[in-house]
A and B are shown apart, each in its own frame.
Chain A
Amino acid sequence: MEKLMNILMEIDDSIDYENEKALIDGRLLDSFGVITLVSELEDAYDIEIEASEMIPDNFNSAEAIYKMVLRLQEN
C-alpha cells in the first residue's frame, strides 16, 4: 500500500488519498491522470491493466486501486 501511496503522491500530491473515496466521481483524477497512474502501476507491480478495467469503481480510492492491483496480480 505504501508503494501505491508514493505513486499516487507523485501524480498529484494535493489529494488526501487516505480518506478520498471519489477520485474519479469527484473529478480529482482526470483521464490523463488515470493513464499516467495505469502506466506507473503496470511498471511497479508487473501487471497488465486492460481497457476493461477503466471503470470509476476501480479508481475511486486508493483502497479500490490496491484491490484491483491485487486481483490482477492473482490472475
Chain B
Amino acid sequence: MTYESLVYGFVFLPLCLAAYQIVPQRWRRRVLLVFSYLFFWLISRNLIVYLLGTTVFVHCIGIWLEWLKSEQKTELASADRSEKKKIKGIYQQKSRRVLAFGVLALLGILAYLKYYNFFVSNVTGILGNVLPFTLEQKKILMPIGISFYTLQAIGYMADVYWGKIRAEGKLEKTALFLAFFPQIMEGPICRYSDTSDTLYEGRPLNMDNLTSGYIRIFWGLFKKKVIADRLAIAVGMIFSNYTSYSGVVIAAGAIAYTIQLYMEFSGCMDIIIGSGELFGIRLPENFRQPFCAQSAAEFWRRWHISLGTWFKTYIFYPVSMSSPVKKWNQYGRKHLGKYITMLGTSAIALFPVWICNGLWHGARWSYIFYGMYYFTLILLGIAVEPVRDRILNTFHISDQSVWLKFVRIAKTWVIIFAGELFFRADGLRAGISMFRSIFTDFDLNALTDGSLFNLGLGRADMIAIAVGCVVVAVVGSVKERGTDVRKSLFRRPVFVRWALCYALMLAVIVVSAYGDGYQTIDMIYAGF
C-alpha cells in the first residue's frame, strides 16, 4: 500500500478517519498510533521490529537525558557559586555521552542496513587481494522509511539534550511522533516541536480540514499520476538505453527526470500533508517553488526543505560552532582576513553536510558525487560573491533587475538538471558518459526527426504532461507571490469553487497514467 493507491485513499484513510472520530478525544492519538503501525506492518511486515526497537530506545534516551537535567538542577540548588560551574561541567559531559550513545546506536543500525554491502563491495574491490579474510555481501532487508524516522529520532534526542524540548514521558506519544503513518515513508522529517501539539491534541474532524485536506490530496495525485508517472516511462527508456540516444535526447531526459522527480516527490508531499490536515495535524512544508531559486544554495532552501533544515540544525551549526572551527575563525580573522576565514569556515561546515546529503540518498558513488557536486557549487557561489558584486557595481547593474533574476534562474536550472542527471543515472560511470554525450553528440535533428515520440509516450501523453506542467507552474507562480491558493479558492463563488474541485478530481480520474500501457510507478523517495 502506497499513498497514491486506491486502498489508501478509499479504505485505509476513511477507516482511520471514522475510528478517530468515533472514539473519545483522549483515545484519538492511540487510534492514530494503531493505524500507523498497521500501515507500517502492511508495507514492511516483520521489519516493524526496527521501528518498535528504535521507538523504545529513543524514548529511554530522552527520559535519561531529562533525568540528568533534573539531577543537575537538584545539585545546583544546594551548591555555592564556585561549585556550580563544576557541577554543570560534569552533567554536560554525562549528557553528551548519553546523547552520543543514542546517536551512534541509531546511526550504527542505519549504517549496517544501508551501507554494509556498499562498504564490502568497495573494500573487496580495493583491498581484496591484501585482506587476510573475506568479506561476504549479505542479503539485508531494510525497513521502508528508516532514513526518515532515524533522522527524526536523532533530532528528538538532540533537542532534549539542548533543552529545546522536554523529553516525552508517555511512550505512546513518542511512538506516534516517529510512526505517524502519512509521513513514515517519505517524510517530511519533522521536529518534535513542529508537530507534537496538533499530533497529540486529538481535535475532532471538521468540514474545513476535510475539504482542505482532500483538495491537497487530489492536487498531489494530479502531479504524481498525470505528470510524473507518464514522464517516468520516457525517463526510464532514456536512462536505461542511454548509449542509443544522442546528446540532445539525453539533455531532454535530464530535464524530464527533474520534472518527474519534482512532480512525484512534491505530489507525494501534498498527499502526505493533506492526509495530516484531514485530522487537523500540521506537517511542515517540504517544497517552496524550487524552480524559482536563483542559486544552488537557494534551491536547497526550497527543495526537500525538511532534510535541509535537519542538516543545518544538527550538522551545519554544531560543526560551525565546534571548538576547532571557532579557533580557526579566531585565527583566520586575525591573520588571514574575513574572506579567507569565511571561505574556510564554509568549507569545513558544508563538507559534512553535503557528504551526508549524498550518502543519505543511498549507498552509491553517484549519490556521493551528487552531494559533492552541490558542495562544490555552493562553495564556489560563496567564493565568487565579492567578484560578482564588484562586476555589478562596475557596470551599474542593479542586483534586483528582472533580467538578472531570469539569468540567475536559468543558470540554476542548468545546475539542477545536470545534478539530477547524475542522481538518476545508473551509476557514476553512466552519469559521466551521459553528461559527456550532451557536449560531444549534440544533434539537434533529434528534436525534429521524431526521436522524442519514440520514448513510449503518445501525443495524448505529451499533451497531458504539457498541460499538467503549465497548470502546476501557474499555481506555483501564484504561491510564489504569497497567495494561499486554497484559501483564495474558498473565497470564490460556490459555482467556481466546485467547478475547479470537480475539474481537479476528474483530471485525476480520467487523465491519470493507469491501465493498458502504463505501469505502477514506485514512489522514488520511499526507496531512500
**A49: chain B residues within 8 A (beta carbon):** 321
A39 touches B316 (CB 8 A): no
A25 beta carbon closer than 8 Å to chain B: no
**B320: chain A residues within 8 A (beta carbon):** 31, 35, 38, 51
Q: State the Cβ distance, B396 to closest chain A Cβ, in Å.
A: 17
Chain A contact residues: over half helix, strand or loop, or mixed? helix
Q: State the Cβ distance, B338 to closest chain A Cβ, in Å.
A: 8
**A35: chain B residues within 8 A (beta carbon):** 320-321, 329, 345, 349
- Residues from 40 to 66 in A contacting B, C-beta threshold 8 Å: 42-43, 49-52, 54-55
- Residues from 312 to 359 in B contacting A, C-beta threshold 8 Å: 312-313, 316-318, 320-321, 326, 329-330, 333, 338, 342, 345-346, 349
Interface size for B (C-beta < 8 A) is 21
**B333: chain A residues within 8 A (beta carbon):** 39
B47 beta carbon closer than 8 Å to chain A: no
Q: How many angstroms between the C-alpha atoms of A65 and B321 in the bound complex?
A: 17
A73 beta carbon closer than 8 Å to chain B: no
B439 beta carbon closer than 8 Å to chain A: no
Interface size for A (C-beta < 8 A) is 14
Chain B residue at smallest Cβ distance from A40: B333
Question: Which among B321, B345, B349 has the highest number of chain A CB atoms within 10 Å?
Answer: B321
Q: State the Cβ distance, A63 to closest chain B Cβ, in Å.
A: 21
**A42: chain B residues within 8 A (beta carbon):** 326
A32 touches B346 (CB 8 A): yes
Q: How many angstroms between the C-alpha atoms of A51 and B316 in the bound complex?
A: 9
Q: How many angstroms between the C-alpha atoms of A58 and B378 in the bound complex?
A: 26
A51 touches B321 (CB 8 A): yes
- Residues from 134 to 164 in B contacting A, C-beta threshold 8 Å: 161-164
Q: How many angstroms between the C-alpha atoms of A55 and B318 in the bound complex?
A: 12
B382 beta carbon closer than 8 Å to chain A: yes
Beyond A35-B321, A38-B321, is A55–B164 a contact (Cβ under 8 Å)? yes
Beyond A31-B312, A35-B320, A39-B326, is A51–B162 a contact (Cβ under 8 Å)? yes
B342 touches A36 (CB 8 A): yes
A32 touches B382 (CB 8 A): yes
**A50: chain B residues within 8 A (beta carbon):** 162, 321
A-B residue pairs, 7 tightest by C-beta: A52-B162, A51-B318, A54-B317, A39-B329, A51-B317, A35-B320, A51-B321
Which B residues have a C-beta under 8 Å from some C-beta of A? 161-164, 312-313, 316-318, 320-321, 326, 329-330, 333, 338, 342, 345-346, 349, 382
Q: What would be 5 A-B contacts, judged by CB atoms less than 8 Å apart?
A: A31-B317, A39-B329, A51-B318, A52-B161, A54-B317
